[in-house]
Chains A and B, each alone.
Chain A
Amino acid sequence: MAEPTVMAEPTVMAVFAEVLLDPERPAPPGLVVRPGADPRRRLAVYRNNVAAGLVGALRVGFPVTERIVGETFFRAMAQAFAAGHKPASPLMFEYGSGFPAFVADFPPAESVPYLGGVARIEAARLQAWHAAEAPVLGLPELAERLGGGAGDAILAVRVEPHPAARLVASRHPVAAIWAAHQVPGAPRFDGPWQAEAVLVTRPADEVRLRSLDVAGGAFAAALLAGASVAEAGALALEEDAGFDAGSALVALVDAGAIGKLKGARV
């Protein structure tokens, strides 16, 4: 029997989806609620659930970014991101991967130029938290592999990064700012204002941050990308004439950034 006023079923869902995602669209016909209730109010519940769910996922992933700008500002920023960026999969812990770039270019946050850098740290922490398990190279293994300090052996070393290792470089002291905002109402960061790189690792059951200076950041970036200690050290020397590649490698191993060494034993 024909039911001319009732839409075909796939159309019902398509129309509902369109209306759900466009708050300007009025409620479509054919919504059923209890007698006396307003279908528009009920549609608003679904709209709010979608928006609040996405904003909530960002709040979980970026608590320090939120603390810096405050809940109201963060919510508006997150809503602006969510309006243009829907999750590509049901894995909500991956949803914030594009958020730091959005934050860095968010015009109302222009007066907080380090905000995008802090958000990048938080995105890196989230990635490190969920990264694959793998053994971490320890200092004894490094020493053994280098054969008890045979001079130049270290220079040829190349590494495989641990799967959780991430590096965030910024023109701002973002690790210090991140650390200064670990508790609500913390005093404003008052330390020296200098460029900084942040090494994010997960050597055991917790994510750790280690702050590196510009030369150390250049060394770590090159080494983790596949350069040898000699090649990475040469880049770092351009930033700091006194750079010591050996102790920088030890620091990376100590932080848990290295999965294993590769390349021939010299």
Chain B
Amino acid sequence: MMTGNRRPGPEPNAVPARAGVGLKPPHGSAILGTRPDVGFFEVHAENYMGAGGPPHRLLEAVREVYPLSVHGVGMSIGGAGPLDRDHLARLRAVVERYRPGLVSEHLAWSTHDGAFLNDLLPVPLTEATLERVAGHVGEVQDTLGRQVLIENPSSYLGFAASTIPETDFLGRLAERTGCGLLLDVNNVAVSAANLGYDGHGYLDAFPVEHVGEIHVAGYDEEPEADGGRLLIDAHGSAVRPDVWPLLSHALGLTGPLPVLIEWDNDVPDWDVLHAEAMAADAILAALAVGPRRAGAGHG
């Protein structure tokens, strides 16, 4: 609950079904100086959990002009232990201060024995995991007083112990907790190549009715000993050519949604990043002109 003397934040503003980009401090002056036509900005929640300073000044200024999405990377929703209550309180403070239109987190774990490992680690997909993750998602939503979106992971391996297909797991999680889903189609490309399934088939099985946002990004590629491909979810380059058709396919299934360009490493000049957003906007615009039938986007 809001405390009585807290300065009220801005009204939450809906994130539109347009392309947005991750907010990077080096782009701050370009964004605030030229007010580019971008649907929204997304930030990693943890980068705005400091007490004050230039990060908050930038975000406040951007938030006055653009819709905002807050993307957490440290909640360890899939962790074996209880959620970190201090971290949950920090997330609540960010959400209360900035009133984002969207809040999201990951189906992953990152904390072990009290140490934060700074990576999104894989969870075995079992009934027991679903029970625990649903509890964690419920706790996050109760604490924030709002819905969160949970993102499908990028996987380099799976577990023989898993008994539930990932798409079913996410759909049941959404039905059980009322959470939405964040569909990262770059993660779909990465996981499909690494685990040996068809990304378009994964999308056809995805519980699209729960999706509230889509992510695209660039992956890195390394050859493997048997001549196959290992894809790394690197967020350090332009969106790869095979990911754009996955985006079209996904949007054909979901209808128009906010689409984020994630480019977190080797961040390019603003114009390069903006061009990626315009490419995604073009796909959204084509969708609006001629909506595709579900599943008709490839083949």
Contact = CB atoms under 8 A, between A and B. Distances in A.
Given A13-B80, A36-B228, A46-B119, A131 B52 contact: yes
Nearest to A53: B118
A104 interface: no
A102 interface: no
A10 B133 CA distance: 12
Contacts, number: 158
B53 A129 contact: yes
22 contacts: A6-B161, A9-B161, A12-B124, A31-B157, A32-B157, A32-B162, A34-B193, A34-B228, A37-B194, A37-B230, A41-B230, A42-B230, A43-B156, A53-B117, A53-B118, A54-B118, A88-B116, A90-B46, A90-B74, A130-B53, A131-B53, A132-B51
Given A32-B160, A41-B224, A90-B87, A13 B193 contact: no
A53 B84 CA distance: 21
A14 interface: yes
Contact of B161 (A12, A41, A92, A202): A12
B277 interface: no
A34 B161 contact: no
A45 interface: yes
Given A129-B54, A130-B51, A30 B159 contact: yes
A184 interface: no
A33 B195 contact: yes
B146 interface: no
Given A13-B123, A41-B230, A42-B157, A164 B117 contact: no
Interface of B: 46-47, 49-57, 73-76, 80, 84, 86-87, 90, 109-119, 121-124, 126, 128-129, 156-162, 193-196, 224-226, 228, 230, 232
Closest 8 CB pairs of A and B: A90-B74, A34-B196, A130-B50, A86-B115, A53-B118, A132-B51, A133-B52, A32-B158
A57 interface: yes
A180 interface: no
Interface string A1-16: 0000111111011101
A167 to B, nearest CB: 18
A41 B80 CA distance: 25
Contact of B51 (A20, A87, A90, A163): A163
B110 A205 contact: no
A164 B86 CA distance: 23
Nearest to A35: B196
Contacts of B112: 17, 21
Interface string A30-68: 111111111101110110011001100100000000000
Nearest to A47: B119
A206 interface: yes
B171 to A, nearest CB: 19
Contact of B57 (A8, A20, A205): A205
Contacts of A10: 80, 128
Contacts of A39: 157
B228 A92 contact: no
A17 B80 CA distance: 11
Interface of A: 5-10, 12-14, 16-17, 20-21, 29-39, 41-43, 45-46, 49-50, 53-54, 57, 86-93, 128-133, 163-164, 202, 205-206
A80 B290 CA distance: 56
Contacts of A17: 112-113, 121
A89 B53 contact: no
Given A86-B115, A130-B51, 4 more contacts: A10-B128, A33-B157, A54-B118, A89-B87
B128 A9 contact: yes
B124 A9 contact: yes
Nearest to B78: A13
Contacts of B162: 32
A50 B50 contact: no
A161 to B, nearest CB: 14
A219 to B, nearest CB: 26
Contacts of B196: 33-35, 37
Given A33-B195, A37-B226, A39-B157, A53 B52 contact: no
A33 B196 CA distance: 7
Contacts of B54: 129, 205-206
A15 B224 CA distance: 25
Nearest to A130: B50
Contact of B80 (A14, A37, A38, A57): A14
A187 to B, nearest CB: 27
B106 to A, nearest CB: 12
A49 B119 contact: yes
A42 B53 contact: no
Contacts of B117: 20-21, 50, 53, 86-87
A197 to B, nearest CB: 23
Contacts of A33: 156-158, 194-196
A87 B116 contact: yes
A109 B63 CA distance: 44
